[in-house]
Structure formats: structure tokens, C-alpha cells
Amino acid sequence: MKRIAIQGDLGSYHDIAAHKYFKDEDIELICCRTFEEVFQEMKQDNHVLGMIAIENTIAGSLLHNYGLLKDSGSTIIGEQRLRICHSLVCLPEDDWDDLKEVNSHPVALAQCRDFLQHHPTMKVVQSEDTARSASRIKREQLRGHAAICSKYAAGLYGMKVLQEGIETNKHNFTRFLIACDPWKATELRKRSEINKATIVFCLPHTEGSLSQVLSIFSFYHINLTKIQSLPIIGREWEYQFYVDILFSDYLRYKQAIDAVTPLTQELKILGEYAEDQSTL
């Protein structure tokens, strides 16, 4: 049985993503309040894997998680894309006219802004997690309270679904990364399916330094699917670049890495894995 650390409670989108990635496998979830706790669980037991949200098509990148991933020393072994569909749920005894407050994670609330604007009488209150909002309302029998969470979480906690699909943008996807201790990576991923990698590097503060790197990747027919820059704390106007690259030839990918390494500083491969195409 695989043990997976996630941010959020049972019924959270991390829970759904973990079961989708490890379909037909027995898994045990370790529910954490923060992403820092996820990586701490992995550090305490190197058999534990982590499921970490890294970007959303509406909210953008989870910048803090890039740093946590890099500093953890763990390796990315896979990714999972998940369609995010929010529901408004409440206690079975409540209905629309009873609702005075709605609770959820701030990102989920932002993704349902249009819906909430059409219900101005409901006070909007942020919480740590979508599923935890529902479980707390059920556990404490908070009459007049609603939660924004998944339909799956509603069923899990015996809540009533008042409305499904309340997210503003229906093309709402979150990409999750699956990470583990490097010594387990070989056994958990299939080398023959690897066609994607996430790397991080720094560049000297000189003219054309980034364009040189990009030109080399282009020469080797490497597709850059994402570039995320983050400032280096304590080093003014210097940046780390987190890059997702897609390739069809593993040898050419390795040649490209060898070619750009002398032009970069502190280049590190955070993981090599198979691209998830299930939601494309």
C-alpha cells in the first residue's frame, strides 16, 4: 500500500487527484494542513509520497510550492491534471433561504466570484480547505452555513448539494505533481514513458543569458511548456527559472541539458516523468 501525503482533508481535490493518479491501487492518505507539513511527512518517512498542487489554469502558479519542492530534495515522478468543479453544499436540514455564510479555501472562493456576487446576502469566510469547510459544518452542525467544495466531499460528509458547477470558468484545471524520495523514483516511474521534465536554474545578470538557453533548447527540438521566474532572496535582480520541458527523444533531452549547463548556475533536474494527457 502506498502512503500519500496531501494538503487538505479527505474529500479535497488533492484526495481526488491522488485516487485518480493511483487508480486501482490501494493507497493511504496522510492529511496535512499545509504544504510544509506534506514535505515534513516525506522527510520523516522516505516511503511517503507527496501530492502537491503546482498550478491552476485560473489562479496561476503556486509559487511557494516551487521553493518547497526544490528545497525538499525530493524528485517528481508524475503529474495529474484534474478538472475542478465546485459545488455549494449545506446541512441536509438547510436550504437556500437559511444560508447566511459560505466557507471555503480562498482560491475556491475566487474561482466562484460570479456566483457569490449573485448571492450578496451570504457572508464569505475563508478557511484552510474546501473539504474541511464541509466537514466542520457537519461536525459542528452549523445551521445557515454553506461550503464550497467538491461533490465528492459532500457525499463523504453527508452534506446536501444545492448547486453544482458554480465555478466561473468551466475550463478550470489544477495540475498536481507527485514527488518522492529520489531512491524510490526508479521503482515508481516507468522509464519508457518519460517525456517531460521540470528543471530549475539561475542565470548570470548579463544581456541575452536567457535567450541563449532558449535557443539551445530550440536547436534540440525541446518544447518548453512553462517558464516560471522567481526572485532569489538576498540577491537583488537575480532570478531562478523553473522550466517544464517536453521531449520525444530522451537522448536529445539529455544532450540539451548538457549543452545549457555551462550557461546556467545551479541547474537542477527536479524530476523526469510522463506527461498527463488525460484532460487534454
Across the range 38-66, mean pLDDT stands at: 93
Across the range 28-36, mean pLDDT stands at: 96
Q: Where are the beta strands (DSSP E) in the chain?
A: 2-7, 27-32, 49-56, 60-61, 75-83, 87-90, 101-104, 123-126, 145-149, 160-164, 173-180, 196-202, 223-231, 239-246, 265-273
pLDDT for 53 beyond 80: yes
Residue range 173-185, pLDDT digits in tens: 999 999 999 998 9
Grade residue 211 by pLDDT with cuts at 50, 70 and 90: very high
Helices (H) then strands (E): counts for the chain? 10, 15
Q: Determine how many CB atoms are found less than 10 A away from the CB of residue 48.
A: 22
Average pLDDT score, the chain: 93
Higher pLDDT, 60 or 17: 17
Residue range 187-197, pLDDT digits in tens: 888 777 899 99
Across the range 225-251, mean pLDDT stands at: 89
Q: In what order do the strands lie in the sheet with 87-90?
A: 123-126, 101-104, 145-149, 87-90, 160-164
For residues 24 and 19, what is the distance between their CA atoms, to the nearest angstrom?
8
What is the structure's pLDDT at 232? 82
- For the entire predicted model, the pTM comes to 0.92
For residues 180 and 58, what is the distance between their CA atoms, to the nearest angstrom?
27
pLDDT for 158 beyond 60: yes
Tell me 276's DSSP state: P
pLDDT for 280 beyond 90: no
Across the range 11-23, mean pLDDT stands at: 96
pLDDT for 121 beyond 90: yes
Residues sharing a CB contact under 8 Å with residue 114, sequence separation 6 or more, in sequence order: 168
